[in-house]
């Protein structure tokens, strides 16, 4: 894994993507820092990161688009598949290299609260908690972008797809407001989600018998629960899908001045799921 990590890290700086990514983020952070903290005198650096979070929707896809798509296009992925490094080491080596690139501007952000402190009052606890969550949010976005890059051999399509998915997640709270609250509609929606997950299982395993059994169990189980107590399904979609509101976790520190440990666990879980899905996609291509 260390060899893959070093190779990927060097490649980002040799191709200038690493420098451009870091400079791109720092320019926007610097602009918002001057506007909010220096010009208007706001004592919270967290306001800056809250505004810059949208920039990640553009920056992260540029960072992740070539992670697996370019390897697949140039057919150099076959070298990875036949290397002595296991699949986990390949995926984590690439992932940690991108996380390291993103960690550099996050580390530079640690200086800004101290500058605010030198000018007057500052809230270092809130600011540093916000920087931590900003870093974890970026790690989740990187895992999602890496997974999408593993689905295609076009870096451009990977970047566009990552931007689209991240944009939907950024607007997730607004999307949730359009969901129905009735029990019947929520039951149908949950069944559709279950069917989608089962399709992913079939796509990765190609075991139609397993997929059929899972689908049958989902339909029968859903019907039984709906007949016994349909009220369970009322608002179920919003309760379940609301956990994917990643921005709410990040902005919660700014509004409540408290660290949500469950939010950190949710970030780590989502990142872990997409790393696992990336491994499954690479494993499938290795044996195809």
Packing angle between helix 155-170 and helix 124-149, nearest 10 degrees? 140
Residues 10 and 99 both lie in one domain = yes
**Residue 285 pLDDT grade (very low, low, confident, very high; cuts 50, 70, 90):** low
Residues 9 and 66 both lie in one domain = yes
Residues 192 and 273 both lie in one domain = no
Residues 225 and 109 both lie in one domain = no
User: Does residue 194 have a pLDDT over 70?
Assistant: yes
Residues 55 and 162 both lie in one domain = yes
Instruction: Give the single-character DSSP code of 109.
Output: T
* Mean pLDDT of all residues in 115-124: 82
Cα gap 220→215, rounded to integer Å: 9
Tell me whether residue 143 is in a domain: yes
Residues 216 and 170 both lie in one domain = no
Tell me whether residue 244 is in a domain: no
Residues 171 and 197 both lie in one domain = no
**Residue 286 pLDDT grade (very low, low, confident, very high; cuts 50, 70, 90):** low
Residues 207 and 83 both lie in one domain = no
Is 134:106 a contact under the CB 8 Å cutoff?
yes
Cα gap 120→176, rounded to integer Å: 41
Q: For residue range 142-163, what is the model confidence (pLDDT) as tens digits?
A: 999 999 998 888 889 999 999 9
Residues 32 and 113 both lie in one domain = yes
**Residue 100 pLDDT grade (very low, low, confident, very high; cuts 50, 70, 90):** very high
Residue 198 domain boundaries:
183-234
Tell me whether residue 239 is in a domain: no
pLDDT of residue 61: 93
Tell me whether residue 114 is in a domain: yes
Cα gap 31→39, rounded to integer Å: 11
254-260-266-272 Cα dihedral, nearest 10 degrees: 90
**Domain total for the chain?**
2
How large a percentage of the chain has pLDDT more than 70? 91
The whole-model pTM stands at 0.87
Tell me whether residue 250 is in a domain: no
Tell me whether residue 152 is in a domain: yes
- Find, among 88, 180, 93, 101, the residue nearest to 141 by Cα: 101
Residues 27 and 91 both lie in one domain = yes
**Residue 79 pLDDT grade (very low, low, confident, very high; cuts 50, 70, 90):** low
Q: For residue range 168-180, what is the model confidence (pLDDT) as tens digits?
A: 888 887 777 777 7
Choose one of 217, 234, 251: the last residue of a domain. Answer: 234
pLDDT of residue 68: 82
Residues 72 and 102 both lie in one domain = yes
**Residue 85 pLDDT grade (very low, low, confident, very high; cuts 50, 70, 90):** low
């Amino acid at each position: 894994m260390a060899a893959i990590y070093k190779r990927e890290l060097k490649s980002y700086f040799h191709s200038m993507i690493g420098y451009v990514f870091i400079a791109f983020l720092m320019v926007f952070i610097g602009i918002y820092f001057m506007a909010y903290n220096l010009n208007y005198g706001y004592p919270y650096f967290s306001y800056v990161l809250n505004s810059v979070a949208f920039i990640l929707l553009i920056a992260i896809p540029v960072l992740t688009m070539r992670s697996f798509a370019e390897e697949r296009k140039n057919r150099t992925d076959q070298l990875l598949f036949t290397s002595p490094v296991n699949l986990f080491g390949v995926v984590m080596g690439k992932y940690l290299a991108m996380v390291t690139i993103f960690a550099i501007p996050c580390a530079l952000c640690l200086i800004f609260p101290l500058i605010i402190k030198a000018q007057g009052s500052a809230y270092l606890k809130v600011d540093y908690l916000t920087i931590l969550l900003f870093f974890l949010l970026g790690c989740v976005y990187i895992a999602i972008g890496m997974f999408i890059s593993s689905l295609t051999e076009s870096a451009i399509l990977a970047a566009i797809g990552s931007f689209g998915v991240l944009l939907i997640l950024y607007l997730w709270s607004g999307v949730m407001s359009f969901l129905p609250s009735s029990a019947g509609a929520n039951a149908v929606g949950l069944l559709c989600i279950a069917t989608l997950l089962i399709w992913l299982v079939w796509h990765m395993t190609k075991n139609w018998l397993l997929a059929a059994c899972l689908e049958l169990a989902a339909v029968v189980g859903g019907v039984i629960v709906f007949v016994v107590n349909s009220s369970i399904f009322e608002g179920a979609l919003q309760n379940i899908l609301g956990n994917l509101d990643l921005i709410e976790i990040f902005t919660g520190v700014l509004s409540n001045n408290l660290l949500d440990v469950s939010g950190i666990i949710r970030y780590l879980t989502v990142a872990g799921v997409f790393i696992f899905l990336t491994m499954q996609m690479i494993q499938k291509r290795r044996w195809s």
